Amino acid sequence: MSQVRAERALALQNQLRNRYSRHAMSIFLIGYRGSGKTSVGKRLAQQLSNDFLDTDDLVVRRAGGRTIKQIFQDEGEAGFRELESKAVRDVSRLDDHVISLGGGAVLREDNQRHLLAGGGKIFYLRCDATELLRRITGDAQSAETRPALTHLGGGVEEIRMLLERREPIYRRLMSAEVDVTHASVEQVVSSILKLL
């Protein structure tokens, strides 16, 4: 029985890879911090047998291992956004990758142009503000490595304010929106695979 399941899983994986690789493009995941872009991206890349990249991780590597919070402290938000823009420009040229973008990466018009010019599929992982706060505060590493983005200090009001500003951009760029508020990683991956 397990041999049959393994063969079916392999057949499905090959079918997905063949369906996807005909188009030789990348998949970009956008959305607010805590929406699951990295977790979903890693699992989706595995399902498609593609490489996974996270622009936040790329920025940290290029900044000599400093956390995003440290980059903000050393260079300010403008310095971080400049590093982020270079990462977005570089990853937007890649084919056959699943790429998670930092939540604010879409704010710069240059980044928007690079993403759209790359011809990949862009999925907005939408999540309610209260659930985002629950996820963010439940992740101890997030507090250590990521700064608050406004004077509001990172609470639900900050999330709502930033979503109000970012959601129109996310929706303008997206190929499709997936509500992740009450969905597991597997459910989100399944939804995206159906939309490819």
Q: What are the mean pLDDT values of the chain's consecutive 10-residue runs (196 residues total)?
A: 62 57 79 96 97 96 94 92 96 96 95 94 97 88 59 80 96 98 98 95
pTM score of the predicted model: 0.84
pLDDT of residue 141: 72
Domain 23-195, architecture per CATH: 3-Layer(aba) Sandwich (3.40)
Q: What does the pLDDT read at residue 87?
A: 97
* Listed residue (34, 31, 55) closest to 167, CA to CA: 31
Domain ranges of the chain: 23-195
pLDDT of residue 45: 97
pLDDT given for residue 63 in this prediction:
95
